[in-house]
Amino acid sequence: MKIFNTVLAVTTIASACLFSATAGAQTYPDRTITMVIPFSAGGPTDTVARLVAESMSKDLGQQIVVENVGGAGGTLGAGRVAQAHPDGYSILLHHIGMATSASLYRKLAYDTLNDFEYVGLVTDVPMTIVARKDLEPTDLKGLVDYIKANKDTVTVANAGIGAASHLCGMMLMSAIDTQLTTVPYKGTGPAMTDLLGGQVDIMCDQTTNTTKQIQAGTIKAYATTSPERLKVLPEVPTAAEAGLDGFQVGIWHAIYAPKGTPAAVTERLSKSLQVALKDPNVVARFAELGTVPSPDSDATPAALKAKLESEIVRWKPVIEAAGQYAD
């Protein structure tokens, strides 16, 4: 009898939870949503997130508030969302670092593939190799020679292990076979401030953070990591053109929710993301920053799941070959 009552109680609780999750999904969203950005305010991911969040808010009829939780290359913010209540009111906008940190970190506070639900891909942002304005070299070849000749003093800024700038910096050091001193920040927003102030020498950072500064001539640009030159930076050669063959990387961004978030909610967010990515203001601002919104077919839970899985597989051997891990 006692067992029967316990089973009955458990079944009742389970049905109640299911009912409230479904009922919640039907009225979702009925209050403010928090979107965690795992990097500092004012940086490239923050810029992308705020544009998308503003437009999604209009479509959802509820505000999406952006919260910056920077540190440890994006893993702190991702961990925060992994532990949040799975009701659709805490979501994460992260980038390629979601995949690379799975191999870079010996221990993460979350399981990358099993602690999240998927919303969709947002955009794939090219990177640029840039330097403080008064660094002498005028082209990439000159920069490589300069770096090699001054390898004990040249500093490279990044947003911590697992950040896009870290990945790109690692690729650069390995391409030119030279180890440099890296200076980690909580995001490339503050790193850019130091590059502008001349406190660090070089950085490889997303166009969403560098385009305006390059156009204004406040930093020097040596190359892009895109397959072709960018419309917004026609003077800047691709890395391949400038002598680093195969030096290509795109920083894909995506939105996630904690594991257990109802599918109706992630589907609703995905639809809203698709609307935002066609918003003329978002399209125009992305274009000014050197990037393009993902098509509808990529802004879906299934496309993101496939992307994350394949990117983890893609970067694992590269990271193992570099042999640089974080604890």
Name the residue with tokens 């604890």: 327
Minimum Å gap between C-beta 254 and ligand ASP is: 13
Q: With contact defined as beta carbons under 8 Å apart, do 102 and 64 qualify?
A: no
3-state SS, residue 270: helix
Q: Which tokens belong to 229? A: 């030159």
Minimum Å gap between C-beta 97 and ligand ASP is: 6
Q: Per CB under 6 A, does 163 bind ligand ASP?
A: yes
Near ligand ASP by CB under 6 A: residue from 46, 115, 124, 201: 46
Lay out the site mask for ligand ASP across 189-208 (x = CB under 6 A, - = otherwise).
x-------------------
Q: Phi and psi of 281, rounded to 5°? A: -70, -40
> What is the DSSP code (8-state) at residue 252?
E
Near ligand ASP by CB under 6 A: residue from 35, 40, 226, 255: 40
Q: CA–CA separation, 141 vs 242, rounded Å?
A: 7
Q: Per CB under 6 A, does 165 bind ligand ASP?
A: yes
Whose Cβ is closer to ligand ASP: residue 55's or residue 182's? 182
Q: With contact defined as beta carbons under 8 Å apart, do 254 and 119 qualify?
A: yes
Q: With contact defined as beta carbons under 8 Å apart, do 291 and 71 qualify?
A: no
Stretch in the footprint of ligand ASP (CB under 6 A) among 2-10, 175-183, 187-195, 296-304: 187-195
Near ligand ASP by CB under 6 A: residue from 102, 147, 164, 244: 164
Q: CA–CA separation, 209 vs 132, rounded Å?
A: 14
- Residues in the interface with ligand ASP (CB under 6 A) total 15
Q: CA–CA separation, 84 vs 258, rounded Å?
A: 6
Lay out the site mask for ligand ASP across 107-146 (x = CB under 6 A, - = otherwise).
----------------------------------------
Q: Per CB under 6 A, does 172 bind ligand ASP?
A: no
From residue 121, alpha-carbon distances to 21, 23, 188, 311 in Å are: 25, 27, 21, 13
Q: Which tokens belong to 150? A: 């001054």
Q: Per CB under 6 A, does 102 bind ligand ASP?
A: no
Near ligand ASP by CB under 6 A: residue from 25, 45, 195, 236: 45
| Peptide bond between residue 280 and the one before it cis (omega within 30 degrees of 0) | no
Stretch in the footprint of ligand ASP (CB under 6 A) among 28-36, 41-49, 258-266, 295-303: 41-49
Near ligand ASP by CB under 6 A: residue from 25, 72, 140, 159: 159
Phi-psi region of 315 (alpha: psi -120 to 50; beta: other; left: phi over 0): alpha
Q: Per CB under 6 A, does 188 bind ligand ASP?
A: yes
Near ligand ASP by CB under 6 A: residue from 77, 120, 187, 262: 187
Q: Per CB under 6 A, does 71 bind ligand ASP?
A: no
Q: Per CB under 6 A, does 69 bind ligand ASP?
A: no
Q: Per CB under 6 A, does 43 bind ligand ASP?
A: yes
Whose Cβ is closer to ligand ASP: residue 278's or residue 285's? 285
**b/e string for 284-298 if b means 16 or more Cβ within 10 A?**
ebbeebbbebbebeb
Nearest-10 Cα torsion for 11, 12, 18, 21: -150
Q: CA–CA separation, 143 vs 129, rounded Å?
A: 10
Residues that bind ligand ASP (CB under 6 A): 39-40, 43-46, 95, 97, 159, 163-165, 187-189
